[in-house]
A = this chain, B = another copy of it.
Amino acid sequence: MSTVEQQLDDLQAEITSELPSDISVSSVKYEGPELVVYTRDPKEFAQQGDLIRKLASKLRKRITVRPDPSVLSRPNEAREEIMNVIPDEAGVTDLDFHADTGEVVIEAEKPGMVIGRHGSTLRDITKNVGWTPEVVRTPPIESSTVSNVRSFLKQERDERRDILEKVGRQIHREEMSDDEYVRISTLGCCREVGRAAFILSTPETRILIDCGDKPGAEGEVPYLHAPEAFGAGPETIDAVVLTHAHLDHSAFIPLLFKYGYDGPIYCTEPTRDLMGLLTLDYLDVAAKEGRTPPYDSEMVREAIKHCIPLEYGDVTDIAPDVKLTFHNAGHILGSAVSHFHIGDGLYNVCFSGDIHYDDTRLFNGAVNDFPRVETLVLESTYGGRNDYQTDQEDSEEKLKEVINETYEKGGKVVIPAFAVGRSQEIMLVIEEAMRNGEIPSMPVHLDGMIWEATAIHTTYPEYLRDELRDRIFHEDENPFLAEEFNHIDGGEEERQDVADGDQCIILSTSGMVTGGPIMSWLGHIGPDPESTMVFVGYQAQGTLGRRIQNGWDEIPTSEVGAMGGGNGRGTLALNLDVETVDGFSGHADRAGLENFVKTMNPRPEKVLCVHGDERSTQDLSSALYHDYNMRTFAPKNLETFRFL
């Protein structure tokens, strides 16, 4: 008998002995990081309010209870019972019964009302029908990404159960080594922004954290082939942890499966969905630009199938000697500060991922409060000594001014923006300003992936700032549903209509004017001296956005591409005003980074400054050393640091 079998047998015996004699345990199984307890008495189990919580704390495991298939009521009967228990206002949109696991997935507009106070409604469901309910939110705005991911996972249910069982056995395997160390190897993202990838390793376990591309430098991929990465074989990597969905962290996650990786990806649920959206778009863009994509969409599906979603605050075993906890990072939807607890109190490492320290309209500021942290791996995008950003309040005032001025001139406002994060932030500013009469009410057209990204945001309001979350829960207050917002889904024809029509605001991707529908808007609106283009995000060196920002007023048609048109002489005259409003960054500025560290509880002993150019990482590293007396480093790629 394998040690895992033995362990499960022992656990079953222990659980049985802890339970009242009228509750039987038919089997226990690992499913990913969870221990699933099958019982022939699910109703009795549900009756005893905090039995599961007590078991979980006694066994120090995450526990799920499911009915033994033999005692399940028939789905049709169960459906009726369930609908009786759940109040009508919950807005149930789908019920999906899985006889293999005894689970019923309930999709509802108001998941909170399905759950009930402290889970009372859920318990009532089990008490009445035996099935184990699992609740997901009906997207308030229809999202093809969310519905595709959900139906794909439903379709792959069997394989996914196998994956989870395999992962569970890996996690709960016996520890083999009696050595002790903790190491971090840098595979990218050091003294540069882009291609984030780190290996966290112990004698027992190796974890890959992020695996992104480097925008504008397609050849510079993470050093995955280094011996300390996949050189020793993909099976030597226990787990992948994805801090957030931005491509500089996620682009090559699907590639890992092409390389033979077959293990779990830990991330939040919104990160999973956004990764699907962004990597598929990444493949599209590569194909359009004539580059050979490094993997195909099949690999994106593989990646999604291997995702194990974790919520902020869940302490989760991901290896025999490693517990992972995600915390809000304030950067984009689902972005996570990733805390690793190694051994039994041996060592703690925190990867900031990308963070925003202060609250924004969309998100609460990054969490920096932990039980313990010895080493912090800190992003340094704006770590340079002069990298201070304008206050968002001032930026908002300026944006409103620009909109008002353009409106008075009779022109249109075109805002190139990233689909994920910055667009929603700007939407919130505009919606409030219109509601308060600070700017005139007019159509706000959302083009490119912005609408879809917004829909994903509204699917996961728990990941948004408290006030915003509460407003989304009340349909009539959901700011993203304001009547001014219009989804451009009619293609070039609709764009032509908008261009020919009344004053309006246009938010469109790509954010650096390097492709996408913004090229079309440039063709339509560019020549109009009454209109204004407003840059609200960082424009990288070498992008068209940067050149427009710097004063280019004639663009070769070849730059604008097929969508942009031109004037027949091969150039496009840019007569519109160009304005820059910064302060909407998703990244902490220098002050934010210092505050994150300064107020961090507890203070880390060591800080590795990464995800910033050479100057930023070195400036930040030396400032933290001098001001807070920490041991700090600005690593290079391909180095390995040992702690302990």
Contact = CB atoms under 8 A, between A and B. Distances in A.
Contacts of A231: 227, 231-232, 236
Given A227-B231, A232-B232, A236-B231, A639 B638 contact: no
A185 interface: yes
Nearest to A636: B642
A606 to B, nearest CB: 13
Contacts of A642: 636-639
Interface string A196-238: 0000000000100000000000000000001111011100100
Contacts of A206: 227
A302 to B, nearest CB: 24
Oligomeric state, in number of copies?
Answer: 2
Chain A at the B interface: SS class: mixed
Contacts of A232: 227, 231-233
A640 B185 contact: yes
A301 interface: no
Contacts of A400: none
A598 interface: no
A229 B228 CA distance: 9
Interface in A607-644: 636-642
A258 interface: no
A181 interface: yes
A228 B640 contact: yes
Nearest to A179: B223
A227 to B, nearest CB: 4
Interface in A223-267: 226-229, 231-233, 236
A227 B238 CA distance: 14
A127 interface: no
Given A226-B228, A638-B642, 13 more contacts: A181-B638, A183-B639, A227-B227, A227-B229, A227-B232, A227-B236, A228-B228, A231-B231, A231-B232, A232-B232, A638-B640, A639-B640, A639-B641
Contacts of A640: 185, 228, 638-640
A223 to B, nearest CB: 9
B228 A183 contact: no
Contacts of A637: 642
A224 to B, nearest CB: 12
Nearest to A177: B225
Interface string A163-186: 000000000000000000101010
Of listed A231, A232, A641, residue having the most chain B CB within 10 A: A232
Interface string A412-447: 000000000000000000000000000000000000
Contacts of A236: 227, 231
28 contacts: A181-B638, A183-B638, A183-B639, A185-B640, A206-B227, A226-B228, A227-B227, A227-B228, A227-B229, A227-B231, A227-B232, A227-B236, A228-B228, A228-B640, A231-B231, A231-B232, A231-B236, A232-B232, A232-B233, A636-B642, A637-B642, A638-B640, A638-B642, A639-B639, A639-B640, A639-B641, A639-B642, A640-B640
